[in-house]
Each structure stands twice: as structure tokens, then as C-alpha cells.
Structure 1
Amino acid sequence: MRLMTVWTAFRILYRLLRTLVLSGASGGHALPICLKHRLCLKVGRGLRTRRHRTQAIFPTMFSICVLVSLFRIFPNARAESPADPLLVFAAASLADAMTEVGQAFEVVESTEIVFNFASSSILARQIKSGAPADVFMSADEAKMDDLERGGWLVADTRHSLLGNQLVIVVPVDSQLKLSDERDLVPASVTRIALADPRSVPAGIYTRTFLQDQRLWDTLVPKVIPTANVRAALAAVESGNVEAGFVYLTDAIRSTRASILYRVPIDEGPVISYPVAVVRKDRLNPLATRFVSFLSQPEPMRIFISHGFIESVRKVSVGEKPGSEAP
């Protein structure tokens, strides 16, 4: 909008100056700017002199100088254009809820949001490689910590927004019976899907939980790592594995997988979803508004309807409830 205003001012200024200057060149009668009138005008020999050519060029040069000055005063005019879509990088487990929240924001701001959903580790690497993200929402604090240390985040825009819960799921037609995670030990269970425990938050949370239960070393030969938590759920739904660890928010939406066990929140690692504005040369002003919007009642209602819980403080992967945050 500001860019349009500057351009309009330039056109008005140019027309005014050209009319005034050419008015003097024609003996006091303003020359019409309209091409139609100009074609009908008989210009005297005097206008072809160097003096009058200079007078004709003056308004153009002066107006250009004014336009350049205006852009120096408003260097972010292009970046603040409402035509620029907001690019949001978000963890794969947020896809359904964030899409719905994004639609609500688009209505409020009359703008467009483009989402990039993937594992938090992949998104963090993309941001470090220069991907033009405006906002990043991770499924764990560790990825956000890493970006913050590297100076990739705008100061004072980061906060923890949501929480989640781990569950064990099986194919909907499975005959497997589970009362807790220890029922995965028997030989009848040969394959357990979970997001990559080396880098993906959902897998890291699962590994941390199983290590605390002293089961990780026993179950790790059965683990089938996947690219993200949605892929782990898909492996269960397809029947390619007997069981899998996923987030509650993913499991409750599935019609081809059943939840057999929910890891008690007070026993499992605290699952935290932080959000922040990504630092760029030219910040999209919608980024800060979107981050603030996420905490408002209507977006939170949407998140909770998808199974998320509201986060009350910053925590790190593996931290237990009641412990001191680092």
C-alpha cells in the first residue's frame, strides 16, 4: 500500500511540474499533458531551442529525484506490501491444526499463508541454509535453542505455545493386547515404528521415555525409524509394523489405527512446541502478528480440539514435569 502511495505521489508531482514548466515555455499557456491534446498542438520553433528542451526535461529529473528520496525514507515499502504471503515452517504433527488456524488468520488479516510442514530437524536445517521462513514452530525446544544460539530468531518473539502426549498405536484390526510399554517386549512384537530417534522430536521423546523405563536397549532392535511422526503413523496404519509410538494429536485423527496405551503425562518427557519469528533482512510485519495471534482464544480452541494441551512454560526435550527448566 505504501509503495502504491509513493508511485501515485510521483505521478502527480511529475504532471504538476511538467505543466508549470511547459506553461512558462509556451508564453504563459499551460501545455496539456494528454497525448491526444499534444498531438493537436502546434509547437513553435522556440520550443526546440536548448533552453526549452532543458525546461521540458527538468520536471522528469526532479520527480525522479523525489521518488528516490521517498524510497530512501521508506526502504521497507516493498516488504510491507500485503501481497507478500506469510511463510510458516511448522512441525509435521501440527499440519491439521495449523492449517485450520492459518485459515482463521487469513480471514482476520485478509492475507495469504504458505505452510511448510516437515520434521522439526529438517525445517531447522532449511532455515540455516537460507530458506525464507517468516515463522518457525518446532515440536521441541532443542531445535529452537539451536536456532536461537545461531542468531536465526528475532529477539523476544519466542515462546512455548503447546504440549502433546505420546501414545502407542496398533493397526485397527490388530489382535495385539497392550496394557503398557512393557507389553512390547515379547517376541510377538517384531517391528515398532517411531520417528527417527536420532533427530526427530517425536522419536527423541520416545527414546527418552523408554530409556527412563529401562526398555530402550531391549526394544531398539525392533525399532523402524521414520522421517517424521506422520510417517510412523502411516507405517502402523498400513500394517507394516505391529505397533508404533506417535503423538496423541496424530492418533486421534486416524481411522486405521487404534490407541492401546497413553503414556501418562507425569511419567513421560514434557513435549513442548515453541514458536518464534525468523530473522531476515526484511521482516514480514505479518510474522509478529501471526505469532501473537496463535495465543488468542480462538486459535487455542482449535489446537485443543486437535488434542494439543496448552504449554505454560519453556521446557527442553527429556525434562520431566516438576523439574527446573534450564
Structure 2
Amino acid sequence: MHEARFAWGALTRRLALGLFCASLALPPGAALAQTRDVVVFAAASLKNALDEAGAAWMRETGKRVVVSYAASSALAKQIEAGAPADLFFSADLDWMEYAASKGLIKPESRVSLLGNALVLVAPKEAPVQVALKPGVDLASILGGNRLAMGHVDAVPAGKYGKAALEHLGAWAGVKDKVAQADNVRAALLLVSRGEAALGIVYKTDAVSDPNVAAVATFPEESHPPIVYPVALTKDSANPDAALFLGFLRSDKARPFFEKQGFTALSKASTGS
């Protein structure tokens, strides 16, 4: 009996050693690529639509998407620092160009997927009437209150907002009243809580929060076109990432984005 137990134990150890050696023979990251979730780094303004798209893809495939939401600037820097993302979904072209210039994406996978609009929001219970045209005196409308925006030097919504205010001749009057936030959803929250009288966010953000109202839309010509590009990251070894990107480009995903107010820029693919 003792010999039988010894023989069984020895066989078990040999099998374990064999499996370990076999795992060493796999290409680096192969086992991980077969099992791990699809990790997406996405602009904060995409949250509602992308959460719904990810849930739909999981119902269809049984595979899970994990999304990290933040400002596109922060996400690009995190990917550059080695964060393990499979997809980068930016709220502007500049930060995707930055990622491309650093060799962080697979350029052949890149597509400009969505468009958006820029709006001025106020707390829903404190509606404001504003005509966003050249010469608008936004400073007088604000009085002693604050204007919430994404960081104007880094966050795409903040950059678009500053450009629009400069175009309308309003930036000089409000620049000292700006409450700069780490991302567009943080700026939205300041207005939603009544901590800022007005805010500059995307149309899709205004739709997502019942406590705010869009009081005016910035003219398209007042800022660069709002474009959301998406691409696979260079270091992604997850085969499901390309499948999810195909799903995002398909007719199946388009309703989730259009419901939030995005416009589709890319012709839908047939992939799922």
C-alpha cells in the first residue's frame, strides 16, 4: 500500500511537471490571451453607451469586456506607461495621434467611429437662456459662479470648450471663473450637484444626467470637429479584442451610441 501511494504521488508530480513544462513552451502571453477579458481604455463620455454595448456583446458571446474610463489624455499616458489595455477609445484625434506617434496602437486597426456635439449645461432646476453667438457675455451670465469644464490643456472636452469660447470672444471674460475637472464626466457632476452654475460638456453627457439640462449648443464651426477614434493597442495579444472592435463597428452596436446622442462616422462593418 505504501509503495502504491508512493507510485501515485510520483506519477502526480511527473504530470504536474509535464504540464508546467508544456506551459513554458507556449508563446509568451498565449495562455493569458485565451482566457482574459477584453480590456478597453475609453473616454469618460463613452460610459453609458459603451457599458450597454459591452453587455450586449457579453450576452451574444459569453465573453466579458472590462472598461477603464478617464480622460483620453490620462488613458494615453497610462498605455504609454505600460498599462495592459487591448483597445484605446479616444474622445479626440489628438490623443490618438499621440498614441500612434509613440507606437502604442496597431495603425491598421484604427477607425474614426463616432462624432459628438458640444453643449452648455445648467442644473435642471435653474434653467438659463443663452445664445451662443459671437460676442456672448458669458461672464455676466455666470456672475460670481463657476463654469465647469474638462482641463483645457489636456482633456478633449476642455480643449474643444476653450476653442469654442475663444471663437465666440468669451474666453477672456470667463477664464478666471473656470473650474477645471479631470474629465468631462467630473465637470458634468459639478453642474449636476449645483457646485457650478454652468458647464461645457458633450451632448451625450447632458443626455446621461437627469439633473442637468442642455441650454445651448455651440456652433460646429466654433471648435474642431469632435471625432472619437478607436484602435487596438500594439501590445494586445487577446484575439477577442479584434472581435469586440468588429462588434463596435457593426450595426449591432450602433443603436447604443445613437441612443446617447453620438453620430456614427464609420460605415458599419459586418463583423460581430
TM-score range, shorter chain: 0.7 to 0.9
Mapped contact 1:163–1:271 kept (Cα < 8 A): yes
- Structure 2, unmatched stretches of 5+, are 268-272
- The yes-or-no answer on 1:79 pairing with 2:32 is yes
- Distance in 1 separating the partners of 2:248 and 2:82: 25
1:138 alignment counterpart: 90
Letter in 2 for 1:242: A
TM-score normalized with structure 2 length = 0.85
1:243-322 aligned at under 5 Å gives the runs 243-280=198-235, 283-312=237-266
Give the root-mean-square deviation of aligned CA atoms: 2.8
* Deviation of 1:253 (Å): 2.2
- Structure 1 residues 250-273: Cα deviation after superposition (integer angstroms, max 9, x where no partner): 101222111110123344421011
Q: 1:69 to 1:267 in 2, by over 3 A?
A: same
* Deviation of 1:183 (Å): 4.4
Relative contact order, higher structure (CA 8 A, sep 6+): 2
- Structure 1, unmatched stretches of 5+, are 1-34, 40-55, 314-326
Structure 1 stretches of at least 4 aligned residues deviating more than 2 Å after TM superposition: 35-39, 66-77, 187-190, 264-269
1:214 alignment counterpart: 169
- Structure 1 residues 231-287: Cα deviation after superposition (integer angstroms, max 9, x where no partner): 11111112222211111001012221111101233444210111011121x611111
Letter in 2 for 1:141: L
- The yes-or-no answer on 1:204 pairing with 2:170 is no
Farther-moved stretch of structure 1 (100-109 vs 196-205): 100-109
TM-score normalized with structure 1 length = 0.72
- The yes-or-no answer on 1:237 pairing with 2:189 is no
- Distance in 2 separating the partners of 1:199 and 1:75: 35
- Distance in 2 separating the partners of 1:242 and 1:254: 15
Mapped contact 1:189–1:242 kept (Cα < 8 A): no
* Deviation of 1:105 (Å): 1.4
- Structure 1 residues 128-173: Cα deviation after superposition (integer angstroms, max 9, x where no partner): 1111111110111111111111111123011110011001111112
1:27 alignment counterpart: none
Query: Matched residue of 2:214: which SS?
Result: strand
Tell which structure's C-alpha radius of gyration is larger. Answer: 1
- The yes-or-no answer on 1:109 pairing with 2:61 is yes
- Distance in 1 separating the partners of 2:206 and 2:266: 23
- Structure 1 residues 93-146: Cα deviation after superposition (integer angstroms, max 9, x where no partner): 001110000011112222111110111111111111111111110111111111
Farther-moved stretch of structure 1 (252-261 vs 304-313): 304-313
Query: Matched residue of 2:91: which SS?
Result: coil
- Distance in 1 separating the partners of 2:231 and 2:100: 9
Q: 1:186 to 1:129 in 2, by over 3 A?
A: same
* Deviation of 1:79 (Å): 3.2
1:111-126 aligned at under 5 Å gives the runs 111-126=63-78
- Structure 1 residues 68-88: Cα deviation after superposition (integer angstroms, max 9, x where no partner): 57964766541342x211111
1:29 alignment counterpart: none
Letter in 2 for 1:272: V
